[in-house]
Amino acid sequence: MISSVSAPMKAPRSAHRHKPEATPYVDLTRSEWSALREKTPLPLTAAEVEKLRGLGDVIDLDEVRDIYLPLSRLLNLYVGATDGLRGALNTFLGEKGSQSGTPFVIGVAGSVAVGKSTVARLLQALLSRWPEHPRVELVTTDGFLLPTKELEARGLMSRKGFPESYDRRALTRFVADIKAGKEEVTAPVYSHLIYDIVPGKRLTVRRPDILIVEGLNVLQPALPGSDGRTRVGLADYFDFSVYVDARTEDIERWYLNRFKKLRLTAFQNPSSYFRKYTQVSEEEALDYARTTWRTINKVNLVENVAPTRGRAALVVRKGPDHKVQRLSLRKL
């Protein structure tokens, strides 16, 4: 006997195929993002952008207008919203817990040679032009690398840039002190020329409105302590974070191109740690650079840096020409 009850209809294949995938991000094309700048004026000249961009980067005024002006507007809105939230908290706490403003902290992460340093410098220049927060400081995590002698003693010279090559406790304490509103906080200074920490030299930061922290591993979660307890990590102090992304093969090409340019410029300095690569053939020098990329920088990217991408508030995706193609902004 055939049942008179009809079987439930299956949804057409196309309905499943076109169902949007759930994601914590809003994905935007370059043109969609660019439109969000509204009437924000461009405060930088071509000459200023030239000084800010890194070796091998191709950022120009169009890139600043289309990508970084909207970002500076977004961050200005975030700073204002944070101030408003602080006021609401003060109202709730009353006299017992009233607090003055503390610096808004931004993390900028990404691979070696992806252009994160240029992004950080551009943000510093753009954000400091907003009248609400003129004091914008930029600190790189290079200053918290362990000194060369310490890296050699621990057998970590070939792991330079990996999480274990930093004094992570000192770095986290530095940002925590700034976030707590301390009047003056200092950090070690790193020299790319000598490839080491500069003995006796310190960078001083005095109560900025905004602090930008740029580095490979700034979005790394905290490691458990020896007692097994979860610690507070650097990223826990960030109010906003940016991950600069690109295909690995593009970053490798940018890395090698930058190495070739450095070989003709900074490496020529007699004090340069890398001067020895100016005294061999270009092919020999590039063999070294390829090996360094393959055994150190790429490994660090794949194992440590790229896995933190999903922790960022904004992911900026570059194309093969260094131009930003798409952006993903985390939903609230």
**Binding residue numbers:** 110-117
**Cα end-to-end span (Å), the chain:** 56
8 A C-beta contact, residue 305 and residue 296: no
Choose among 153, 120, 166: nearest CA to 139: 120
| Residues of the binding site for ATP | 110-117
DSSP 241: E
What does residue 316 show for φ and ψ, rounded to 5 degrees? -105, 115
Nearest to 286 by CA among 262, 310, 309: 262
**Secondary structure (3-state) at 234:** helix
Tokens representing 300 are 């660090």
What is d(CA 190, CA 206) in angstroms, rounded to the nearest whole number?
A: 19
Spatial contact of 90 and 98, defined as CB atoms under 8 Å apart: yes
Q: Residue 203 is inside which H or E element, if any? A: strand 196-205
The CA-based dihedral angle spanning residues 173, 171, 120, 133, taken in that order and rounded to the nearest 10 degrees: 20
Q: 244 by DSSP, 3-state: which?
A: strand
Contact yes or no for 27/84 (Cβ under 8 A): no
